[in-house]
Amino acid sequence: MAIAYDSVTNPDLNTGGDLDLTHSCSGSDRILWAGVLMRNTTVNSITYNGTAMTQVGSRIGPIGGSNDYVALYFLTNPATGSNTFNVTLNAANLVIGALVSYNGADSAGQPDGATDNGFTVETTTNTSVTTTADNCWVIGVGRGNADGLLYAGTATTMRATLDPTGGYIQMFDNGGPKTPAGSVTLQTTQANQPTGHKIASFKPATGGGGTIRLQTNLTLLGVG
């Protein structure tokens, strides 16, 4: 089964506490991704419809004097329909969240791969991951400093983007399946500023059973 983009909830923030967003998932073999920025604090829990989401590796940061950190989370088979995404912090401070969902994804063995790119001052940021399974997609979350806004570069599709006062994150993907498996690079362009990416590949659901071959040997018996 092929992976397909489902829906997005653009970034929103709370400057002094926890964060609730509403996101809608549809289709079958679903996977939900969340990009989260937290300032001078850590995450206590992240849930969608009350179910805990899984962090991909460690968060990246800090960036700038505000000590901003960025993390990527996922949940396989999230509930369908419109539900609440909740971020609870260990200490009240600024938090930003965004969500992108897809269908046609495997419910096990996710992510297929993951990597990050620490905060380097540059106008073009390239982050690569090598996929293992065929027909994977690659998703990422990015954070810039200064004016904060990132723009989709070569072979990259921006999915979630907004300019909320006080901080910025964007979410992006490679726009389609990688076949055969191999290296995929997501690229953003931006003002010359510290920029970081956290990216992960995710594999499609298997398509069901293979071909069944029946071999019949017929013997004709004569009667004398």
- Whether 87 maps to a domain, the answer reads yes
- Residue 127 is predicted with a pLDDT of 97
pTM: 0.90
Identity of the amino acid at 139? I
Nearest Cα residue to 63 out of 138, 11, 141, 159: 141
Residues 107 and 1 sit within 8 Å (Cβ to Cβ): no
- Whether 103 maps to a domain, the answer reads yes
Count the domains in the chain.
1
**Residue 213 corresponds to which tokens in the numbers above?**
């071959």
Structure confidence by residue, pLDDT tens digits, 176-185: 999 999 999 9
- Residue 119 is predicted with a pLDDT of 82
- Residue 207 is predicted with a pLDDT of 58
Sites in the chain below the pLDDT cut of 70:
64-65, 146-147, 162-167, 207-224
- Whether 220 maps to a domain, the answer reads no
- Residue 74 is predicted with a pLDDT of 98
Residues 60 and 40 sit within 8 Å (Cβ to Cβ): no
Which range of residues forms the domain containing residue 186? 4-202
3-state secondary structure the chain: CCCEEEEEEEEEEECCCCEEEEEEECCCCCEEEEEEEEECCCEEEEEECCEECEECCCCEEEECCCCEEEEEEEEECCCCEEEEEEEEECCCCCEEEEEEEEECECCCCCCCEEEEEEEEEEEEEEEEEECCCCCEEEEEEEEECCCCCCEECCCCEEEEECCCCCCCCEEEECCCCECCCCEEEEEEEEEEEEEEEEEEEECECCCCCCCCCCCCCCCCCCCC
- Residue 222 is predicted with a pLDDT of 46
- Residue 193 is predicted with a pLDDT of 85
User: What is the rounded CA–CA span in Å between residue 93 and residue 87?
Assistant: 12
- Residue 212 is predicted with a pLDDT of 33
Residues 53 and 32 sit within 8 Å (Cβ to Cβ): yes
Structure confidence by residue, pLDDT tens digits, 4-16: 999 999 999 898 8
- Residue 149 is predicted with a pLDDT of 84
User: What is the rounded CA–CA span in Å between residue 165 and residue 167?
Assistant: 6
Residues 171 and 32 sit within 8 Å (Cβ to Cβ): no
- Whether 186 maps to a domain, the answer reads yes
Cα torsion 87, 88, 90, 92: sign: positive
- Residue 213 is predicted with a pLDDT of 37
- Whether 217 maps to a domain, the answer reads no
- Whether 221 maps to a domain, the answer reads no
- Whether 177 maps to a domain, the answer reads yes
- Whether 184 maps to a domain, the answer reads yes
